[in-house]
Amino acid sequence: MHEVVSVGFDFENDAHALICGASKGIGRGAALAVARLGVKVTALARSADLLQELEVELRSAGARETRALVADLDQRDALFAQVESLIRAAGPIHILLNNTGGPAAGPLVEAEEGAFLQAFERHVLVSHGLVRRVLPGMVASGFGRIINVLSSSVREPIPGLGVSNTIRGAMASWSKTLSRELPPSVTINNVLPGKIDTGRLSELKVALARKAGASPEEIEASWLANIPEGRLGTPEEIGGVIAFLASPAASFVRGVSLPVDGGQLRVI
């Protein structure tokens, strides 16, 4: 029988979150939602200007401390070195959000091998490398939350997103496997966004409209017809779910893939 690790971890005073892809979209919504928990937040993205603006908002939202980490997930060695330096300077990371833009749209049969390799490296290998670097601090603290932003395609593959469907499934299997290996008090879970009003969704809408000979408005209308809530979701709504999973309240939630899609998925 496992014994829960307890070393007197003080969530409000000790917790440090690293939010990847924090400059816009779901990552930004998550960073602000986690900041409202009153923890330290390090926001990671490629754009220094957007991160500088976000830091001001994070402090207003309630983050106890904020840091900006300008990094590129496609440059793994440099990224990992930056995260290691962050841990040495600021202490352990207790909340890790793995989040990055998905692969380009397109039919699976037309996908080149390079598209799979790039996506696998950006999603699976980056996430795995980050977990290996933050895990010792989580274990020593007796508290850890690893959260992955995936896609509703984990449950139902999305037409026109062949490479993305493949890689999101790989991430879900990686995460579920880790959920059985991580020690008590360190959890890993996935959030599966549906149609969320972000720049990436707008790009996908235009691409699908062009391919179908339709207007972007017609594509969106077809989406909404299959969402019981009758609207697109917002990054803030995804952020709220991520903040829950990052909090002590989610201590018994482990290894799940949680759809946040307005009821679009038909699977149980």
pLDDT of 227: 97
Mean pLDDT of 11-36: 97
pLDDT of 2: 39
Whether 53 and 182 share a structural domain: yes
Whether 85 and 98 share a structural domain: yes
Mean pLDDT of 207-223: 92
Whether 87 and 116 share a structural domain: yes
Give the tens place of pLDDT for each residue, 44-61.
999 999 999 999 999 999
pLDDT of 1: 34
Whether 132 and 210 share a structural domain: no
- HEC string of the chain equals CCCCCCCCCCHHHHCEEEEECCCCHHHHHHHHHHHCCCCEEEEEECCHHHHHHHHHHHHHHCCCEEEEEECCCCCHHHHHHHHHHHHHHHCCCCEEEECCCCCCCECHHHCCHHHHHHHHHHHHHHHHHHHHHHHHHHHHHCCEEEEEECCHHHCCCCCCEHHHHHHHHHHHHHHHHHHCCCCCCEEEEEEEECCECCHHHHHHHHHHHHHHCCCHHHHHHHHHCCCCCCCCECHHHHHHHHHHHHCHHHCCCCCCEEEECCCCCCCC
CATH number at residue 101: 3.40.50.720
Whether 177 and 246 share a structural domain: yes
pLDDT of 207: 84
> What residue numbers bound the domain in which 22 lies?
11-194+234-257
Does a structural domain hold residue 4? no
Q: Quote the number of domains for the chain.
A: 2
pLDDT of 7: 53
Give the tens place of pLDDT for each residue, 63-86.
999 999 999 999 999 999 999 999
